[in-house]
């Protein structure tokens, strides 16, 4: 996976293909779990506020969401792309 310099320290591998984006919002540690599917598609799985008591359960929930996504859903039907002009 290619990671831009600006994201170093925010992206972590959790288990297998499961990854996590870590950041702080309004003083709260927030996590977004995701995995990279075929054709470089990023599939967002779960979002949660990190606490010591819940972290293990949230990773397990993300693992289950990934399994369901891979087993029960076909390829993405919509692609959302932006051109360079749109992102300026």
> Residues 1-43: pLDDT tens digits?
455 555 666 788 888 888 888 888 899 888 888 888 877 788 8
> Running DSSP on this structure, what letter comes out for residue 58?
H
| Paired tokens of 4 | 């831009």
Question: CA 2 to CA 74: how far, in whole Å?
Answer: 25
Question: CA 44 to CA 33: how far, in whole Å?
Answer: 6
| Paired tokens of 68 | 């369901």
Stated pTM of the model: 0.64
CA-based R_g, the chain, Å: 15
Choice between 54 and 69, residue whose per-residue pLDDT is larger: 69
Mean pLDDT of the chain: 76
Interstrand relation of 28-37 and 11-15 (parallel, antiparallel or unpaired): unpaired
């Amino acid at each position: 996976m290619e990671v831009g310099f600006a994201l170093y320290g925010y992206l972590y591998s959790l288990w297998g293909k499961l990854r996590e984006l870590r950041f702080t919002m309004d003083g709260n540690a927030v996590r977004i779990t995701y995995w990279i599917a075929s054709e470089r598609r990023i599939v967002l799985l779960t979002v949660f506020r990190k606490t010591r008591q819940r972290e293990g359960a949230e990773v397990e929930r993300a693992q289950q969401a990934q399994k369901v996504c891979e087993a029960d859903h076909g390829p993405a039907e919509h692609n959302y792309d932006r051109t360079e002009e749109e992102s300026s």
